[in-house]
Structure 1
């Protein structure tokens, strides 16, 4: 708390990225979220913790427009979710990705689809786009899988692909639902190192569901800022924006690979 008191950071000066007002949702006639009021401001890092059935994934799915609340409203970047069109500003990694394993799409194509957005869906792929995809695959150690069909991969390999897809478009908001499920411990450590760097040095807002209480508390603090039912919201603001050498996340992705290879955190 002392750190917050001394900081010049004033959260009221930052844009609200996600605004939830009086959100209520029931599943199979059981109410899992009741009258939730919560806002996430620019450059917040929010860790969402809760037991099974607490409504964590349900809440994320409402925020990205895959579910509608029974009551209440959600706004993204100041716009009601029903009118929001700039979905390329949001990177989303769901807990499980459902797709037809026979669908003829390669790893490279899946990752590149993170650049398209709804307005660029049928645009030509540029050389710069291909470089970003190669960097993302290199960082996630999946470059050798680039031409394989996504349905041929293991669960852990698929998760790395979807992580790369979410990061490639330099999102302003990154939503992660158990992002390290199926990933080995060494890669988890490198991933957490990378996203902490991204939060500290880039203009990115994070909302992450995790069961790793040690990781959440070590970075976001020991006590939740707010609780709704079984949902607990841990929040950290990035108080000082440090300028990076590059404006995009390419060097952060490369730094993740370096960190994993060295098996120790490095300053990116």
Structure 2
């Protein structure tokens, strides 16, 4: 099995003696769609930051596509949708401009995009269903559509791994379901590995192959159908 992500006996602390994660061993195969869930403060975002190379483990090792995370980000391209506290309703940019910014960063271009890069931007926008709104200001879109635009920005990297941190923040229930279905389509169409990190997993429970629950360590790792009943109660996940 070819692995996209490997954590081997990883512990992590923001300050000495106060561990957020302890002895985490986890692997994600290429092409998997994995939801990483758990309570606020349980360590799920820290786990994602370790995978992205934004933090370093206190002990243990992290490998992404067989390499150290920082090198993997550069060589294999990782699309990252970071957590945000509210929709980007006041951003003075269009959908095309924000997706183009993602392509500029990925391609290391200074100046106007080349034709091939503009085509990648247009294709990324089409893939998330915003082809007809490409030149609309971001502030005019619903929360769900804004998230689609930000996913398109991540797709413009042409990623092998798509990492999303709390992607349904500020998004209504109907749009959450739509985003889950979109991510499943992208995984099937592009073969991209998806790490979906959230304190809730209802939006993707029917489309992910695997749920990893994190509370200082991995407390469950398996198919949604095998999840203990208590974890289906959102109040338990939030605890």
Which TM-score band (shorter chain)? 0.7 to 0.9
* Pair 1:127-2:115 in alignment: yes
- Uncovered stretches (5+) of structure 2, i.e. residues with no partner: 224-239
Q: 1:49 aligns with which of 19, 37, 40?
A: 37
In structure 2, the partner of 1:207 is 195
TM-score (norm 2): 0.72
1:23 to 5, 10, 15: 10
Measure the CA separation in 2 of the matches of 1:214 and 1:107.
27
Which secondary structure does the structure 1 equivalent of 2:207 belong to? helix
Q: CA RMSD in A?
A: 3.6
Higher alpha-carbon Rg: 1
The SS at the match of 1:212 is coil
Query: Quick check: 55-64 or 199-208, which moved more?
Result: 199-208
Q: 1:40 aligns with which of 10, 16, 28?
A: 28
Structure 1 residues 220 and 187: alpha-carbon distance in aligned structure 2, compared to 1, 3 A threshold: closer
What's 1:80 paired with? 68
CA, structure 1 residues 58+217, in 2 after alignment: closer, same or farther (shift >3 Å)? same
Q: 1:88 to 1:146 in 2, by over 3 A?
A: farther
Q: Which runs of 5+ in 1 are unaligned?
A: 1-13, 237-268
1:95 alignment partner in structure 2: 83
| Structure 1 counterpart of 2:99 | 111
Over residues 13-53 of structure 1, what are the superposed CA-to-partner deviations in whole Å (9 max), with x where a residue is unaligned?
x3211111221112355211001111111111211111010
**Cα deviation, residue 186, structure 1:** 3.0
